[in-house]
Amino acid sequence: MEDDRVAILEAQLSQAKLIAEEADKKYEEVARKLVLMEQDLERSEEKVEMNESKIVELEEELRVVGNNLKSLEVSEEKVWQGVWSGEGNAGSVANPVPVYRERVQTRIRCENVAVWWQVSCLGRFLG
Q: List the chain domain ranges.
A: 2-126
Q: Is pLDDT of 21 > 60?
A: yes
Amino acid at 40: D
The segment with the largest mean pLDDT, out of 46-50, 61-65, 72-76, is: 46-50
Which of residues 97 and 109 earns the better pLDDT score? 109
Which of residues 43 and 107 earns the better pLDDT score? 43
pLDDT category of residue 90 using cuts at 50, 70 and 90: very low
Q: Is pLDDT of 106 > 50?
A: yes
Could you tell me where the beta strands, DSSP code E, fall in 1-127? none
Separation of alpha carbons 120 and 61, rounded Å: 12
- The distance from CA 63 to its chain's CA centroid, rounded to whole angstroms, is 17
Average pLDDT of span 43-70: 88
Our CA angle for 80, 81, 86, nearest 5°, is 100
